[in-house]
Amino acid sequence: MARCYLVLGGSSGIGEDVAASGRWPVQLAVALRDTGVALDDPHIIATTGWTTDELEAGIDADAPQGPFDLVSLLIGVNDQYRGRSVDDYRPRFTALLQRALGFADGRARRVLVLSIPDWGVTPFGIASGRDREQIGQALDAYNAAAAAICAEHEVTFIDITDLSRDYGGEAAMLAADGLHPSAAMYTLWHQRAYAVARVHLADEGAH
């Protein structure tokens, strides 16, 4: 029987300006199926521009019915873009992580959290006129907070921020808007997530 996958997030979940097949969660599901894990294409609750509170509202409106065998969460870049503090982000992220755990029937090994990419290195970020160093520092603080919360809940935190900084200025790694990742960048993301998801989904004790 195929397993169910829930994706919670913003533009990276829905794959802004990328074909559906290029979205990182879709690539992840395909890669898992190719290695024998029966996983459905993901049910995605994500919209470009969403902040933590907007994702909360989106979940409420969608009302997904769990439990899900895999849940991924990536949220916060728009909170930072709008100038919200880490102190504001921390409780909102915690609430979303707890909801993700609920959708996974409390199985922490079935929840994956990806770090927030650094949009300041992109052509959009450079053209924005904002201080790129400050953007990076703010995102590092957000990611540190999320990583600590994940550790408290025994949820795996997958760092993809370094990939955004290493390759986020390359045209091939960007969508046409010069901001959002391309399918090629999402491939790098899903490969990191796959390494964790493959092991966790094979965990017999998590059925």
**23-35: burial string, b at 16+ Cβ within 10 Å, e else:** bbbbbbbebbeee
CA distances from 178 to 10, 104, 126, 184 (A): 17, 35, 10, 14
Give phi and psi for 180, each to the nearest 5: -80, 155
Check: CB of residue 48 under 8 Å from CB of residue 17.
no
d(CA 148, CA 154): 10
Instruction: Give residues with Cβ within 8 angstroms of 5, minimum separation 6.
Output: 25, 29, 39, 40, 41, 42, 43, 68, 69, 70, 71, 72
47, HSE (Cβ side, Cα atoms, 13 Å): 13
Check: CB of residue 7 under 8 Å from CB of residue 20.
no
What's the pTM value of the predicted model, to 2 decimals?
0.94
d(CA 134, CA 112): 27
Give phi and psi for 6, each to the nearest 5: -115, 130
pLDDT < 50 regions, the chain: 204-207
CATH class given for the domain over 5-12+33-202: alpha beta
Check: CB of residue 116 under 8 Å from CB of residue 60.
no
41-81 pLDDT, tens digit each: 999 999 999 999 999 999 999 999 889 999 999 999 999 99
CB atoms within 10 A of CB 141: 16
